[in-house]
Amino acid sequence: MRLALYQPDIPQNTGTILRLAACMGVPADIIEPAGFAMTEKALRRAGMDYLDQAGITRHRSFRHFLDSAEAGSGRLVLLTTRASLAYTDFSFDAGDILLLGRESAGVPDEVHDLAAARLRIPLRQETRSLNIAVAAAMVLGEALRQTGGFPAP
């Protein structure tokens, strides 16, 4: 299981997701360019001292990510508000890559179309979306539950 962030916009969200990855023992991919300077200082507040424990791989573009060994290791599963399938109705595999889009714009259509699966989190009709770090935690939790991938106590 991996988390992949497509051109993240907000350093605090990115730091929180990297902290989540570190705590769950899940590698994280950052697909650049990011909407902020990818410095330790930018990520440190939300990521705290967990950033050193996160297995982070940075990719200079989506094409470089697709060409990497990391991307070749499993299905690309996109979390998107444009999906019809709820994440709770999906069967996750241990090798899945959970792809999160930009906070401001998601992913472009060509990235959307490359995903092996597109999942949504069911929300009340009068709301648009959750914070991306909250969404990552919810879906990663279900994926790890299904695959028995939670860290041993």
The model's pTM is: 0.94
pLDDT of residue 10: 93
DSSP label at residue 89: G
H or E element in which residue 94 lies: none
Assess if residue 105 is contained within a domain: yes
Check which CATH number belongs to the domain holding 118 and give it.
3.40.1280.10
Place of tokens 């299905």: 75
Assess if residue 152 is contained within a domain: no
Assess if residue 153 is contained within a domain: no
Assess if residue 87 is contained within a domain: yes
Give the three-state DSSP class for 129. coil
Assess if residue 98 is contained within a domain: yes
pLDDT of residue 153: 83
pLDDT of residue 5: 97
pLDDT of residue 64: 96
With vertex at residue 76, the alpha carbon angle to CA 48 and CA 108, rounded to the nearest 5 degrees, is 85
Low-confidence ranges of the chain (pLDDT < 70): 44-48
Range of the domain at 48: 2-147
Give the model confidence (pLDDT) of 93-119 as tens digits.
999 999 999 999 999 999 999 999 999
Total of domains in the chain:
1
pLDDT of residue 26: 97
